[in-house]
Amino acid sequence: MYELFNINNKVIVMTGGTGVLGTSMVSYLAAHGAKVAVLARNKAKGDALVEHVKANGGDAIFLQTNVTDKAILTQNAEEIIREYGRIDVLINGAGGNMPGATIAPDNTILDLNIDDFRQVVDLNLMGTVIPTLVFSEYMVQQRQGNIVNISSASALRPLTRVAGYGAAKAAVSNFTKYLAGELALKFGENFRVNALCPGFFITEQNRALLTHPDGTYTDRGNTIIAHTPFKRFGEPAELLGTLHYLVSDASKFVTGTIAVVDGGFDAFSI
Ligand code: NAD
């Protein structure tokens, strides 16, 4: 078991590493011996996370980034190589819905703001594609690479109101499968690409959609719970086991899969 799941000294790059799900993932991976490069926008949050990791005996660095900007990502990659010498795993965690791209309950698709729709697709789809291209260059040189994208329940079946986010995450799932085939066929079986597909976890990007300021659930929050056999939202820590499996050799023959972690939401109909 130890060898299969051993991630000691693996260099793992995580975009969106300062988010609610990202913070939990970065802390966990570093606690299990990985060297983690945390890439996100907010330097104060990033520095605090690195300090927390180091205080617990782990190894991490923070680099400010924008996942839609190839030039900044290229600088990030060079800095990671200077610091750690290689890149074993890329987790494309940056993403999320945006308030402007959400269709209000009283509106219809005809009211959709095209710029907001484009922005949410840009962050979630291009913010996965561009880092993948930048970091894959190093993986190809190393003849080994592992990429974990973050998809969403909204990719499996469209959710009401979040048309842009759902379209972008569906494209992330499709790109995951495309890239799994492409990299393995062109560069061999040491290249794997999978997606983690979380159901509903209350975080900053969806708090206003799912909860009222007093913490009680909105109608949408209650509808989600009613359609989840486990009858609750997920806890960020509940993604860690599946993530660990995907970044480790335990999933050595696994590529192009979408690993759903959702308390049964997708499986359930009536
Ligand atoms: P979050 O808002 O807490 O974190 C988002 C992270 O992305 C932050 O670190 C932020 O700095 C970073 N980010 C945003 N724009 C960026 C940019 N242009 N460049 C670099 N970094 C940028 O969100 P979260 O809920 O922790 O979500 C993490 C991932 O999981 C996202 O891809 C999200 O879509 C996905 N997801 C979340 C849920 C959920 O229920 N929370 C469900 C399914 C999928």
pLDDT at 1: 86
Query: Is residue 46 within 6 Å of ligand 1 at its C-beta?
Result: no
Kindly tell me if the per-residue pLDDT of 204 is higher than 90: no
* Cβ–Cβ under 8 Å, residues 19 and 203: yes
Residue ID of nearest Cα to ligand 1 atom 1: 19
Q: Tell which residue, 42, 39, 14, has the closest CA to residue 28.
A: 14
Give strand pairing partners of 11. 35
Q: What is the ipTM of this complex?
A: 0.98
The amino acid occupying position 61 is I
Kindly tell me if the per-residue pLDDT of 205 is higher than 80: no
Distance of alpha carbon 161 from alpha carbon 254, whole angstroms: 33
Distance of alpha carbon 191 from alpha carbon 213, whole angstroms: 45
Span from the CA of 204 to the centroid of ligand 1 (angstroms): 8
Span from the CA of 215 to the centroid of ligand 1 (angstroms): 21
Query: Is residue 64 within 6 Å of ligand 1 at its C-beta?
Result: no
- Model confidence at 246, in pLDDT bands (50, 70, 90)? very high
Span from the CA of 167 to the centroid of ligand 1 (angstroms): 16
- Model confidence at 195, in pLDDT bands (50, 70, 90)? very high
* Cβ–Cβ under 8 Å, residues 175 and 258: no
* Cβ–Cβ under 8 Å, residues 217 and 210: yes
Q: Which two tokens stand for residue 5?
A: 């799941």
Distance of alpha carbon 27 from alpha carbon 102, whole angstroms: 31
pLDDT at 83: 98
Query: Is residue 22 within 6 Å of ligand 1 at its C-beta?
Result: yes
Query: Is residue 205 within 6 Å of ligand 1 at its C-beta?
Result: yes
Kindly tell me if the per-residue pLDDT of 31 is higher than 80: yes
Max distance between CA atoms of the chain, in angstroms, equals 54
What would the pLDDT profile of 50-81 be if each residue is shown by its tens digit? 999 999 999 999 999 999 999 999 999 999 99
Average pLDDT on 174-183 reads 98
DSSP string, 95-156: ----GGGSPPTT--GGG--HHHHHHHHIIIIIHHHHHHHHHHHHHHHHT-EEEEEE--HHHH
pLDDT at 159: 95
- Model confidence at 258, in pLDDT bands (50, 70, 90)? very high
What would the pLDDT profile of 138-158 be if each residue is shown by its tens digit? 999 999 999 999 999 999 999
Q: What is the mean pLDDT of the chain?
A: 96
Pocket test for ligand 1, best of 25, 27, 41 (most atoms within 8 A of CB): 41
Residue ID of nearest Cα to ligand 1 atom 23: 19
Span from the CA of 95 to the centroid of ligand 1 (angstroms): 4
Distance of alpha carbon 125 from alpha carbon 128, whole angstroms: 5
Domains of the chain: 11-199+234-261 (3.40.50.720)
Q: Of all residues in the chain, what percent carry a pLDDT higher than 90?
A: 93
Task: Report the atom number in ligand 1 closest to the C-alpha of 205.
Answer: 2
Average pLDDT on 206-227 reads 92
pLDDT at 206: 83
* Cβ–Cβ under 8 Å, residues 67 and 20: no
Q: How far does CA 163 lie from the centroid of its chain?
A: 19
Pocket test for ligand 1, best of 18, 21, 73, 243 (most atoms within 8 A of CB): 21
pLDDT at 207: 86
What would the pLDDT profile of 93-124 be if each residue is shown by its tens digit? 999 998 889 999 899 999 999 999 999 999 99
Average pLDDT on 154-172 reads 96
DSSP state of 56: T
3 state SS of 37: strand
Span from the CA of 97 to the centroid of ligand 1 (angstroms): 8
Q: Which two tokens stand for residue 179?
A: 């890239």
* Cβ–Cβ under 8 Å, residues 156 and 203: no
Query: Is residue 203 within 6 Å of ligand 1 at its C-beta?
Result: yes
- Model confidence at 259, in pLDDT bands (50, 70, 90)? very high
Q: Tell which residue, 91, 169, 73, 159, has the closest CA to residue 123.
A: 169
Active site positions, annotated:
165
* Cβ–Cβ under 8 Å, residues 94 and 76: no
